[in-house]
């Protein structure tokens, strides 16, 4: 079982590294090609690449709260780590692991920006609905959170999720 768990965690970390590197690469492209430039219109009046530096959270809220964001990100990564340790190594839980992968990768990608630059690079803009500018890491987090909610409400049964209960964990040790 330890060998399987180790392989699972190694695969998760490799996937997280790949997704985080992809996010960082797209942000470096945005800095290189979009910073101090006019937006690149991909679909007129609908979608464009528009460089922005976000010093807040989603939708620009809580500007300048870098310490708060770091604490929240570390808490999210801690919750993901706990869940990975407790998740049953069965195919049925692969969708849950994928959601955790997206959440962790997105959180890590934006945390790297905040730690190194003090802001997050955003560059994807839906002008049709004037949606806030976002980035690839934001896509990971949004998709992962949406899928997680869907799985918890419609895919997994309550008893299947009992493995994540700290109370059950204590009972298993006793």
Nearest to 107 by CA among 120, 117, 96: 120
In percent, how much of the chain has pLDDT > 90?
Answer: 72
Report pLDDT for 158. Answer: 86
pTM, full prediction? 0.86
Query: 142 lies in which domain range?
Result: 2-173
Q: Is 113 in the active site?
A: no
> In the chain, how many domains are there?
1
Residue range 60-64: mean pLDDT, rounded: 59
**Is it the case that residue 174 has pLDDT exceeding 50?**
no
Active-site option among 23, 45, 113, 138: 138
pLDDT at 170 over 60: no
Report whether 91 contacts 11 (CB < 8 A).
no
Q: What is the pLDDT of residue 130?
A: 87
Strand ranges across the sheet with 47-54: 40-43, 47-54, 120-126
111, HSE (Cβ side, Cα atoms, 13 Å): 19
Contact indicator for 72, 49 with CB cutoff of 8 Å: no
């Amino acid at each position: 079982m330890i060998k399987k768990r180790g392989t699972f965690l190694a695969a998760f970390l490799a996937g997280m590294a790949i997704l985080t590197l992809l996010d960082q690469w797209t942000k470096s492209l945005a800095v290189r090609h979009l910073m101090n430039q006019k937006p690149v219109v991909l679909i007129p009046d609908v979608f464009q690449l528009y460089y922005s530096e976000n010093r807040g959270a989603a939708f620009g809220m809580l500007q300048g709260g870098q310490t708060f964001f770091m604490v929240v990100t570390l808490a999210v990564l801690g919750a993901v780590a706990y869940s990975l340790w407790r998740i049953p190594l069965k195919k049925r839980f692969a969708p849950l692991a994928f959601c955790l992968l997206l959440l962790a990768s997105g959180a890590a990608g934006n945390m790297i920006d905040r730690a190194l630059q003090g802001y997050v690079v955003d560059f994807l803009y839906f002008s049709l609905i004037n949606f806030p500018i976002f980035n690839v890491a934001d896509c990971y987090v949004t998709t992962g959170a949406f899928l997680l909610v869907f799985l918890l409400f419609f895919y997994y049964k309550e008893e299947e999720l009992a493995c994540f209960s700290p109370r059950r964990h204590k009972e298993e040790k006793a």
